[in-house]
Every structure is written in C-alpha cells, then in structure tokens.
Amino acid sequence: MSILRKHLFDLPEGVIYLDGNSLGPLPKSVPARVAQAVTGQWGAHLIKGWNIDGWMAQPSQVGDRVGRLIGAAPGSVVMGDTLSIKVYQALSAALQMRPDRRVILSDSGNFPTDLYMAEGLIRHLGGTHRLHTVSPEAVMANITNEVAAVMLTQVDYRTGRLHDMAAITKAAHAAGAVMIWDLAHSAGALPVDLAGSGAEFAVGCSYKYLNGGPGAPAFIYVRPDIADRIDPALAGWLGHAAPFAFDLDYRPAPGVERMRVGTPPVLQMTALDAALDVWEGVDMAALREASIALSDRFIAEVEARCPDLVLASPRDAQQRGSQVSFHFAHGYAAMQALIAHGVIGDFRAPDIMRFGFTPLYIDAGDVTRAAEILARIIGERLWDNPAYHARQAVT
C-alpha cells in the first residue's frame, strides 16, 4: 500500500518540492488549527488558555507524538526551544555524568551549530574539556576510554551519509562514554529505534521532515532510567518541580520535564501538533522503503542525464538517509536556476546540490520530472545567467 498522502499537504501548483529535509511544507491541517489557537484560545480565553486549552501540557504531549516516530517511550521526550539549545542541554548533562573524563568526540559531518555549542560550553567550563572532531569514518576508532561523550548527527546534512546508531552507541558504552544522537535529519526520515539503541540522549528539530513550520520547537529525549539524576545546566522555571510555588531555589521536575526551560511557544507548538496528524498510521518501515526507491530512482535518472554531476551521497541506500546530494562546480547557480524552473532543492557550500525525498508527498513521477528539468538546466547551461549567480543570505 502506498504511503503517499499528497492530499494532506498544501503544495504550490507546479512546484516539485525536494527540500522537505530542510523545511517541510505546510500540512493542510495546520492553518485552521493555528487560527483557532490565535482567536479561539488566545483571543477568547486570554491567560486562562494556559489551563483551559492545555498549553502547559503541550510540550510533553507533542513530545510523545514525536517519540512514536523515533522509537522513544511515552514520557521520555519533551519539546521546546531550538535544536542548538537542546544540544547544549544534552551535552552539559552528559559531561556531568562523566566528571573524570575530558573529551567530547564528534565528527566533521556534524552540523556546525552542534560543534559551536560544544565549543561554547567548553569555554564556559573553563577550558577543561576538549572537542575532538574526526572524520565520520574514524569515529569508531576514536571512541577511547578518555571520551566523556560521543555526540553525532546520525544523517550527515550535506551528503546524507548514515551512521549505524546501534553499533556506535554500543561502542560508546563499551568505552564508558555517554551517547548523544542528533536526529535532525532522521526524525520522520527513517525508522529510528532510540530506546533500543540504549543512547542516553537524543535531540532534533521538528521543522524538517516533521513539517512543524519555520521556527518549530526542538525535541530532547533522555533515557528514562537516568533522567531523574540530571542536574540541568539551563535550570529554567518550567523545568522546576513546582513552577507556581515560585521557590527561590531550583528543584528539578521529575524525568525529562526538567529539560523544559521557559514559556513554550504555544502557537508554534499548535502548528506542529496539527502537522503531526499527517503521520497518523504511517508505517516507518514502508516509509523507508519508499524513500529508498525515490532516492535510487533520482540517482539513476540524474546520472543517466547529467554526466557533470558527481554523486556526493553513499550509493548504497542502506548507508544513506532520505536525501541525495551531487557535487557540481556551478552548484549554487544551477540550484537557483532549478528553483526558478519549479524544482526546489538547496545548496550547501562549497559545491553541493542537495535534494530531500519525502514519500508522503513526493512520488516517482515527481522524481523523473525533477531529473528532466535538472538535465535541461545543466545540458543547456541555463544556470549560466547572472541572475542565478547572486548569492542570497539563505542558500
């Protein structure tokens, strides 16, 4: 049975959207729910909305819905803030768990903000720790008993290369290290067995494959058996055991709730909650199968038509997330031209044209059409136009 459910998305006519890995499109369920939250809740109920409309419980309730998609038990995921903040929280908690160790191991395929947050945390800890960033292939060999935390993004944002979550987590634990997974390009992209992996922490965002909209809240998972022992670095009042007691001293809430910080973004959370309706009944194994079929088809179509483009992603689908990238020297201009011709992907420096495959709203016909249009842009050098060379702020 097909898992295609294009009718649930509000996609502009004539556009083939291969950038749902960066910003998911608008599910049709969202506008009315957000409008109702604005006028029917905020407008009508004013501050009473916190109680009447359940705003305060949203971060956990929505967290449970995300949890189902990443293999996390109910009560182990909470929403809030941005992914950068969640990385900081997970990493600071992980370092506290290994006070005798000084090394954070990550890889060069990680997204820069994850590495920057680690560097910032290290500076503020007084420079006692060290970030060791190795190539993705060298991660396993560098998990030594000096490593406090292994912090990796499962799917490389540029190439789509996929880390073996179970194997790396096992190696981290064998060396006595704490494991942190960033699932930014995994949640909603492929099946994830977070609880089964045994990882202590996972984080991710909800505006990519989960379609929560620009600025949608991030998520954090803490393995339930350790959650009550974490002393949060960002000890906000809504992670307090009794926020409305207004105690002068911080006492953490039970479990993952302590990873909440401040007032939740109710309107964004409502948009995300409505967006998650499209995932009801989706079999993640079937999603993966469809994603691989679309990605393999795109690789074959592009390689047959565009000899100048060089595959930057693993050819083996089992080693890949739900995106495909190609190197092309004029990648920026080619992507601008492609967008102007109705196929939206994106560009990542220095020369990567990146395409995300999202089987809920992309089908084989879209993939073939996208490859045909790309072939015209490359074959006829349509990208070689000054209009497509001017760099915009967001690529």
Ligand X SMILES: *Cc1c(COP(=O)(O)O)cnc(C)c1O
Out of 23, 30, 83, 103, the residue judged to bind ligand X by CB under 6 A? 83
Structural contact between residues 104 and 92, judged by C-beta atoms closer than 8 angstroms: no
Residue 346 in contact with ligand X, rule: CB under 6 A: no
CA 177/CA 155 separation, integer angstroms: 21
| Nearest CB to ligand X, comparing residues 88 and 383 | 88
Q: Is 156 designated active site?
A: no
| Nearest CB to ligand X, comparing residues 152 and 333 | 152
Q: Is 182 designated active site?
A: yes
Structural contact between residues 64 and 75, judged by C-beta atoms closer than 8 angstroms: yes
Residue 184 in contact with ligand X, rule: CB under 6 A: yes
Distance of CA 40 to the CA centre of its chain: 31
Find the catalytic residue in 5, 28, 68, 111.
Answer: 111
Nearest to 140 by CA among 174, 112, 116: 174
Find the catalytic residue in 157, 347, 354, 366.
Answer: 354
Residue 354 in contact with ligand X, rule: CB under 6 A: no
Which two three-digit tokens encode residue 304?
A: 């047959």
Q: Is 111 designated active site?
A: yes
Structural contact between residues 266 and 28, judged by C-beta atoms closer than 8 angstroms: no
Out of 36, 61, 84, 319, the residue judged to bind ligand X by CB under 6 A? 84
CA 2/CA 140 separation, integer angstroms: 37
Distance in Å, CB of 102 to ligand X, minimum: 24
Residue 201 in contact with ligand X, rule: CB under 6 A: no
Which two three-digit tokens encode residue 62?
A: 């929505």
Residue 156 in contact with ligand X, rule: CB under 6 A: no
Distance in Å, CB of 230 to ligand X, minimum: 21
- The maximal CA–CA distance of the chain, rounded, in angstroms, is 68
Distance in Å, CB of 220 to ligand X, minimum: 12
Distance in Å, CB of 112 to ligand X, minimum: 8
| Nearest CB to ligand X, comparing residues 157 and 383 | 157
Residue 116 in contact with ligand X, rule: CB under 6 A: no
153: Cβ contacts below 8 Å, ≥ 6 apart: 109, 110, 111, 114, 163, 181, 182, 183, 184, 185
- The one-character DSSP state at 311 is E
Find the catalytic residue in 17, 157, 207, 357.
Answer: 207
Residue 82 in contact with ligand X, rule: CB under 6 A: yes
| Nearest CB to ligand X, comparing residues 114 and 200 | 114
Structural contact between residues 343 and 370, judged by C-beta atoms closer than 8 angstroms: yes
Structural contact between residues 18 and 344, judged by C-beta atoms closer than 8 angstroms: yes
Q: Is 208 designated active site?
A: yes
Residue 182 in contact with ligand X, rule: CB under 6 A: yes
Residue 111 in contact with ligand X, rule: CB under 6 A: yes
Structural contact between residues 206 and 217, judged by C-beta atoms closer than 8 angstroms: yes
Q: Which residues bind ligand X (CB under 6 A)?
A: 82-84, 111, 113-114, 153, 157, 182, 184-185, 205, 218
Give catalytic residues, as residue numbers. 111, 182, 207-208, 354
